[in-house]
Amino acid sequence: MNSTNCVLIGFMGSGKSTIAKALHRAQGALVLDSDALIESNEDLSIKAIFDSFGEDYFRDLERKFCHFVAHNIQNAIVSTGGGMPLFCDVRSMGKVFFLHLEFDRIVERLDAEQREKRPLFQDYDLALKLYHERLPHYQSCAHYIINANQSISTITQEILERL
Ligand code: S3P
């Protein structure tokens, strides 16, 4: 295992990118955000990738990202897309922190524009089903489970204490 990276996992809207940035400010390590890197490499939004090439193609890109990080990156903060733990060996990238947030809080946090960007968050009932299906996977992948229903500084502190 590559134990030097801090890997953030969790459902869409659980705050992974926000916490990654806060960790960067606190600690200085560079952030690798899987969705942002995939979008930049493909020169397409996540939504356009799903629409044009389908989910399987996107999952292949995530697997490549995961393999690359596991073999080439150290001392980074890795912010993952919400589906990565189901399709990739996220533990191979580093120490895994699951940002756990109740579904209702996630819904409160994601406005219409934020949902629009997420192909798998178009329908409330389907997203809720996905949330319940994924919860056990997140729990089993995680080295640490962090309560994400706290302030950004508290969450950041809890992660830094465990790194
Ligand atoms: C996905 C989550 C998204 C993005 C894609 C698929 C998922 O990332 O990777 O839309 O399967 O949960 P966020 O978790 O950053 O929203």
CATH number at residue 99: 3.40.50.300
Query: How many structural domains compose the chain?
Result: 1
Which one, of 24, 37, 25, lies nearest residue 81 by Cα? Answer: 37
Q: Tell me the pLDDT tens digit for each residue of 55-99.
A: 999 999 999 999 999 999 999 999 999 999 999 999 999 999 999
Separation in Å, CA 19 to CA 41, 62, 82: 23, 20, 14
Which residues constitute the domain of residue 114? Answer: 5-162
Task: Quote the ligand 1 centre to 2 CA distance (angstroms).
Answer: 23
- Arithmetic mean of pLDDT, 14-39: 97
Cα 124 from Cα 130, distance rounded (Å): 10
Task: Quote the ligand 1 centre to 59 CA distance (angstroms).
Answer: 10
Residue nearest to atom 4 of ligand 1 (CA): 81
